[in-house]
């Protein structure tokens, strides 16, 4: 087989067709659109040490660009797609900076009562820390449920998805990026509080999930219909996996509310990729039940509980597998040892019969400095994938 374009390789993988060599993708690097020329002190990507890695991703990997249908940047601008005019009647926001950190305080005013949250973003890290979660107890949940649905109405924008796809050309594909109702709900709580709430208050949990499902399902249907035949990433189900909750809760909270999203995506010829960190051995059957086309990032033990070889043998005919290189190994494993591990991963991910495999890290660095070792190990991923031939 001759050399394929990066776009051809990814689409053939999703369709379960033969490829010239396994695709290699750096996930968030090359996935999220970043601007290395933005001088903002909170932009870690303007650091000189990031430039070789960003260039490597853009020029030598099979790019899968994560683009939200409702937000400018899905991983940072959580509320920018909502009905801002109506929302402002209920929500006020204050932003300030102290000691190289930017704080954002939100206040929801509902029938004379208040709910508050506080987040922090540091200049040296590309992540947002939640210091105070919006929902702290059952009374907060009941108050939140009084919010009118109009506050969550969204502006679905397909034009920027089409624009990003056009810019990419043959270098890769756009992946429509969205949370599911579980993600929207558990993001309101401290994780341990959500776990207890979901376990002990199923009726209230369903009400919260239903509230968020109404607008998320509308989003999914409209974007799938207007931007058909593309890959999607759905994130959030990992909050309903072990050790947080027993696997039957996955059917109750994920299959029931995320399953309809998968159905809509596939109805219009799209591909649904379910993002689940951690232990997936006992919920993999539910992914099949939902009709999922792919899963990521397939963390190897001890972070996960299923070997890539096992998943390929049992589910590889139905699921495209994206994984399973641990970010810690990229950052710290000696390169000669790392190369052997990558070769083994490629062999396991393509063994026997299967729909497809994409060599992908489980996460990405989020600090301002990229070490020489980290960069070299990313290079090795490209070298090994490009040189690998399926027996």
Segment 304-322, tens digit of pLDDT: 999 999 999 999 999 999 9
d(CA 386, CA 60): 10
Alpha-carbon separation of residue 164 from 53, 69, 229, 266 (angstroms): 21, 12, 15, 22
Taking 70 as the pLDDT cut, the residues of the chain under it are 1, 72-85, 391
Last residue of a domain, one of 71, 103, 134: 134
Q: Could you give the angle at the alpha carbon of 326 between the alpha carbons of 78 and 340, nearest 5°? A: 150
| Same domain (yes/no): 110, 19 | no
DSSP assignment, residue 306? S
Q: Say if 93 falls within a structural domain.
A: yes
Q: Say if 1 falls within a structural domain.
A: no
| Same domain (yes/no): 90, 207 | no
| Same domain (yes/no): 122, 31 | no
Last residue of a domain, one of 101, 134, 167: 134
| Same domain (yes/no): 106, 173 | no
pLDDT of residue 42: 86
Q: Give the CATH number, domain containing residue 203.
A: 3.20.20.210
DSSP-assigned beta bridge partners for residue 172: 63
d(CA 128, CA 111): 29
pLDDT of residue 2: 75
Q: Say if 286 falls within a structural domain.
A: yes
Kindly report the pTM of this predicted structure.
Answer: 0.94
Q: Say if 45 falls within a structural domain.
A: yes
| Same domain (yes/no): 229, 347 | yes
Arithmetic mean of pLDDT over the chain: 94
| Same domain (yes/no): 86, 30 | no
pLDDT of residue 155: 85
| Same domain (yes/no): 25, 48 | yes
Residues 50, 38 contacting (CB under 8 angstroms): no
In tens, the pLDDT along 260-276 reads: 999 999 999 999 999 99
| Same domain (yes/no): 243, 94 | no
Q: Say if 217 falls within a structural domain.
A: yes
| Same domain (yes/no): 76, 87 | no
Helix (H, G, I), strand (E, B) or coil at 302: coil
DSSP assignment, residue 361? E
Q: Say if 290 falls within a structural domain.
A: yes
Q: Are strands 172-179 and 113-122 parallel, antiparallel or unpaired?
A: unpaired
| Same domain (yes/no): 87, 70 | no
Torsion of CA 320, 321, 322, 326, to 10 degrees: 180
Q: Say if 364 falls within a structural domain.
A: yes
* Backbone φ, ψ for residue 83 (5° rounding): -75, 85
H/E stretch holding 349 reads helix 335-349
Domain interval for residue 126: 82-134
- Least Cα distance to 155 among 217, 84, 214, 77 occurs for 84
| Same domain (yes/no): 104, 239 | no
Chain centroid, CA 361 distance in Å: 12
How would DSSP label each residue in 222-284?
Answer: HHHHHSTT-EEEEE-GGGGSTTTS-THHHIIIIIHHHHHHHHHHHHTT-EEEEEE-S--TTTH
Last residue of a domain, one of 94, 119, 134: 134
| Same domain (yes/no): 128, 140 | no
Q: Say if 262 falls within a structural domain.
A: yes
3-state helix, strand, coil split of the chain in percent (to 5) is: 45, 20, 35
Q: Are strands 320-325 and 356-361 parallel, antiparallel or unpaired?
A: parallel
d(CA 183, CA 78): 12
Number of domains in the chain: 2
pLDDT of residue 242: 95
């Amino acid at each position: 087989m001759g050399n394929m374009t990066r776009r051809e390789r990814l689409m053939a993988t999703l369709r379960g067709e033969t490829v010239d060599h396994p695709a290699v993708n750096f996930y968030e690097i090359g996935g999220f659109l970043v601007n290395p020329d933005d001088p903002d002190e909170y932009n870690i990507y303007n650091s000189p040490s990031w430039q070789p890695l960003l260039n490597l991703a853009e020029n030598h990997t099979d790019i899968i660009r994560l683009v939200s249908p409702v937000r400018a940047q899905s991983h940072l601008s959580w509320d920018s797609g909502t009905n801002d005019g109506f929302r402002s009647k209920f929500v006020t926001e204050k932003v300030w900076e102290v000691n190289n950190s930017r704080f954002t305080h939100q206040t929801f005013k509902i029938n004379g009562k208040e709910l508050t949250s506080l987040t922090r973003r540091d200049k040296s890290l590309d992540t947002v820390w939640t210091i105070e979660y919006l929902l702290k107890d059952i009374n907060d949940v009941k108050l939140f449920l009084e919010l009118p649905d109009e506050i969550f109405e969204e502006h679905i924008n397909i034009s920027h998805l089409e624009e990003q796809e056009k810019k990419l050309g043959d270098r890769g594909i756009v992946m429509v990026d969205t949370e599911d109702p579980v993600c929207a709900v558990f993001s309101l709580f401290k994780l341990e509080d959500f776990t207890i709430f979901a376990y002990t208050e199923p009726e209230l949990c369903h009400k919260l999930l239903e509230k968020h499902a109404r607008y998320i399902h509308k989003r999914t249907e409209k974007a799938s219909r207007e931007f058909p035949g593309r890959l999607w990433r759905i994130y959030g189900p990992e909050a309903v996996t072990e050790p947080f909750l027993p696997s039957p809760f996955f059917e109750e909270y994920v299959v029931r509310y995320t399953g309809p999203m998968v159905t809509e995506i596939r109805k219009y010829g799209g591909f649904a990729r379910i993002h689940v960190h951690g232990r997936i051995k006992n919920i993999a059957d539910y992914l099949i039940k939902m009709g999922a086309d792919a899963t990521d990032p397939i963390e190897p033990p001890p972070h996960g509980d299923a070997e890539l070889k096992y998943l390929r043998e049992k589910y590889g005919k139905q699921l495209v597998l994206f994984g399973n290189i641990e970010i810690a190994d990229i950052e710290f494993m000696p390169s000669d040892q790392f190369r052997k591990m990558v070769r083994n991963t490629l062999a396991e991910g393509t063994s026997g019969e299967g729909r497809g495999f994409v060599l992908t890290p489980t996460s990405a660095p989020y600090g301002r400095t990229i070490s020489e070792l980290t960069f070299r190990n990313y290079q090795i991923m490209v070298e090994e994938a490009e040189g690998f031939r399926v027996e």
